[in-house]
Amino acid sequence: MKEKTTYNPQDIEDLLLNKSFDELHSDEKEFVLTHVENETEYKELRNILISVKQIAAEQESVYVPNRIKEDLIQLMEKKKKPFGWFNLNSIAAFLFPSNTPLFKKPGLQFATVGLLLLFTVNIGIDFVNQPKKELAINTNNKSEQKEFEKEEIIEQEPKKLEETIEKLNSNKAIEKEFKNTPSTKETITVQDQTGYFDVSDGKVSEVIETREESDEKVNNIRIEEPKVTSVPLIKAEINKVDFLAVADVEEEITVSKYIKADNLSVTFSSPTVDLNNTVSLNSVIVSTEKSKKTTVKLKSQNLGDNSDVIDLLFVAL
Amino acid sequence: MAKYSSHTDNEIMQLVVERDSLAFSELYDRYNRMLVNYFYKMLWQDEEKAQDFMQDLFTKIVEKPKSFDIKRNFKTWMFSVANNMCKNEYRKQAVRKNTSYNLDESYQIKDTAMNAMDSLQDTQFSEKLTVELAKLDEKQKSTFVMRYFQHLSIKEIAETLECSEGTIKSRLFYTLKKLTVSLKDFAPQLVKMLLIMIGINS
């Protein structure tokens, strides 16, 4: 049986180097002739290959100066790590390695974690600060309790005022004066920004119109520029204040009318106000807020603000 | 130097990574001539250029020893780096002159000067071989030089150029055929010389 050839086309180099064409076996010749045209070409290839190897062996003698090695060794010594010191380059190489993609670089990963921590801490600080604000509100409540106690005390004073006013009303001279002044019997209109209240004889008798939003509470009552008013009007104003506080009047209440009382001699402590026998209430403004407790507080404050007037009334009596 | 003479290339490279100067010295002694000859053959037989390129390659090893993959064979890795450096140089020369490098003239001048003392036949064959090698494309040239001038095995060349052994053998054979067409007029005389040197009278 004919043996299978064991040569690959690439193995012709071994045959060229080791055997002349005459030395080739029949199967080797068969194999060689599949790649070369004839014996002559095989000989030429062989001669060239042997010549090249000979030339290569002869030419392998390029001079290499010693300074190259010295320079390289010197460079190697410089690159040695200093003992006991941090090598910044190694840290940088660790944080930003050159062969890794951007998102895998530890430096960027650390930076991202740092930013996240920073934001988390900031949010945490804000969160911790919030309860402090609430505590501030609670502190106001404590003060409010104290003021509520004050309010009870102050509320007793209007009662005294009412008694004195009744005494005043019983005075005939005053009654005559009131008869002569038709405005006392007129309906006093208390106006907020959206509705009117009838005030008769110092009391709010009827709510003509109110706002739909009744949740808001009266929180502030302010008397502006007290100039001239009558005693019953002051009484009315006090009653009105109480009534408005209960009735949840919104926004602002303005009393635009005032009543004269000639027989009364009222002297204000304020140096800018010098009035003769007349007291006028120019306006009463009530503004609103959503806190009922605050309303109580502020109401008491406003009564406290009116203490001068109350004192004056006592003086007048 | 003898301290590391029994070490393999890869073991020495691990020591170079740890900045061992003696290990580096051993590595340099093993490969400096091989590399400078390779560059010499690949870069138009320019001795200074070959020295510079060899120094650059070792400088890279000193500065970035970790760029060497320890799983690879150091010799093939080193020749692949050298081959890439040659490719870059070819590109630079092509851009610089905007034409193909005039290899014939440069080789003739250098070889004539270098081989003045050699025999005329040797000189002629060497000159012609250099010229014909320069005419080859980059892959054929590098394969041929690695195989017959640097004596790398087929396997090592395949690893260096990252292709199969069959491809390398085939490439070598066809390169040889191409060179034979150009050099056949010089070869018979050389063969005669070789036969004389060997001591066989035909």
Name the band, by pLDDT with cuts 50, 70 and 90, for residue A36: confident
Name the band, by pLDDT with cuts 50, 70 and 90, for residue A114: very high
Torsion of CA B119, B123, B124, B125, to 10 degrees: 110
| 3-state DSSP assignment of residue A243 | helix
Q: Which residues in chain A touch residue B19, judged by CB atoms under 8 angstroms apart?
A: 76, 79-81
Give residue A25's pLDDT. 85
**Does A72 contact B55 at a Cβ distance shorter than 8 Å?**
yes
Determine the number of helices (DSSP H) and then strands (DSSP E) in chain B. Answer: 10, 0
Residue A101 vs residues A98, A106, A107, A312, B140: alpha-carbon distances, Å: 8, 10, 12, 87, 35
- Interface test mutation site (partner A, options B13, B42, B58, max chain A beta carbons within 10 A): B58
Nearest by CB to A49, which of B122, B168, B176?
B176
Rounded to the nearest 10 degrees, the angle between the axes of helix A106-170 and helix A88-95 is 80
**Does B184 contact A44 at a Cβ distance shorter than 8 Å?**
yes
Q: Give the 3-state secondary structure percentages of chain A, helix then strand then coil, rounded to 5.
A: 60, 10, 30
Give residue A206's pLDDT. 42
Give residue B58's pLDDT. 93
Q: Which residues in chain A touch residue B176, judged by CB atoms under 8 angstroms apart?
A: 13, 16, 45, 48-49
Q: How many CB atoms lie within 10 A of CB B117?
A: 6
**Does B173 contact A48 at a Cβ distance shorter than 8 Å?**
no
Q: What is the pLDDT of residues A260-299, one digit of tens each?
A: 444 444 444 444 444 444 444 444 444 444 444 444 444 4
Q: Are A284 and A255 in contact (CB under 8 A)?
A: yes
Question: Does A14 reach chain B within 8 Å, measured CB to CB?
Answer: no
For residues A301 and A151, give the distance between their C-alpha atoms in angstroms, rounded to a whole number. Answer: 8
Size of interface A-B (CB pairs under 8 A): 115
Q: Which residues in chain A touch residue B53, judged by CB atoms under 8 angstroms apart?
A: none
Q: What is the pLDDT of residues B119-169, one digit of tens each?
A: 556 677 788 888 888 888 889 999 999 998 888 999 999 999 999 988 898
Residue A184 vs residues A178, A226, A261: alpha-carbon distances, Å: 6, 18, 9
**Does A76 contact B129 at a Cβ distance shorter than 8 Å?**
no
**Does B33 contact A64 at a Cβ distance shorter than 8 Å?**
yes
Give residue B59's pLDDT. 93
Give residue A300's pLDDT. 47
Nearest by CB to A80, which of B19, B50, B51?
B19
Q: Which residues in chain B touch residue A69, judged by CB atoms under 8 angstroms apart?
A: 25, 28, 32
Nearest by CB to A81, which of B19, B55, B169?
B19
For residues A126 and A137, give the distance between their C-alpha atoms in angstroms, rounded to a whole number. Answer: 17
Q: Which residues in chain B touch residue A75, judged by CB atoms under 8 angstroms apart?
A: 59, 62-63
**Does A48 contact B170 at a Cβ distance shorter than 8 Å?**
no
The interface pTM score, or ipTM, of the predicted complex is 0.76
| Range scoring the smallest mean pLDDT among A108-112, A115-119, A233-237, B45-49 | A233-237
Q: What is the pLDDT of residues A131-173, one digit of tens each?
A: 655 566 666 665 666 666 666 666 666 677 777 777 777 765 5
Give residue A209's pLDDT. 41
Name which of A14, A13, A46, A38 is nearest B194 in CA terms. Answer: A46
Q: Which residues in chain A touch residue B194, judged by CB atoms under 8 angstroms apart?
A: 50-51, 54
Give A64's contacts (C-beta < 8 A, 6+ positions apart): B32, B33, B36, B51, B54
Half-sphere exposure in the Cβ direction for A18 (13 Å, CA): 8
Give residue A31's pLDDT. 85
Which tokens hold the place of A285? Answer: 């403004």
Question: For every residue of B69-99, which 3-state class applies, written as one string?
Answer: CCCCCHHHHHHHHHHHHHHHHHHHHHHHHCC
Give the burial class of B100: count Cβ atoms within 10 A of its Cβ; 0-12 exposed, 13-18 middle, 19 or more buried. exposed
**Does B24 contact A71 at a Cβ distance shorter than 8 Å?**
no
Question: Does B21 reach chain A within 8 Å, measured CB to CB?
Answer: yes
Give residue B158's pLDDT. 92
Residue A29 in this model has a pLDDT that exceeds 80: yes
Nearest by CB to B148, which of A41, A52, A69?
A52
Q: Are A231 and A175 in contact (CB under 8 A)?
A: no
The per-residue pLDDT string of chain B (202 residues; one tens digit each, 9 = 90 and over) reads 467 888 888 889 888 888 888 889 999 999 998 899 899 888 888 889 999 999 999 999 998 888 888 888 899 999 999 999 999 998 888 777 654 444 444 444 444 444 444 455 667 778 888 888 888 888 999 999 999 888 899 999 999 999 998 889 888 888 988 888 888 777 645 555 555 555 544 3
Q: How far does the CA of residue A92 sit from the closest CA of chain B (Å)?
A: 14
Domains, chain B: 118-202 (1.10.10.10)
Give B129's contacts (C-beta < 8 A, 6+ positions apart): A51, A52, A55, B179, B183
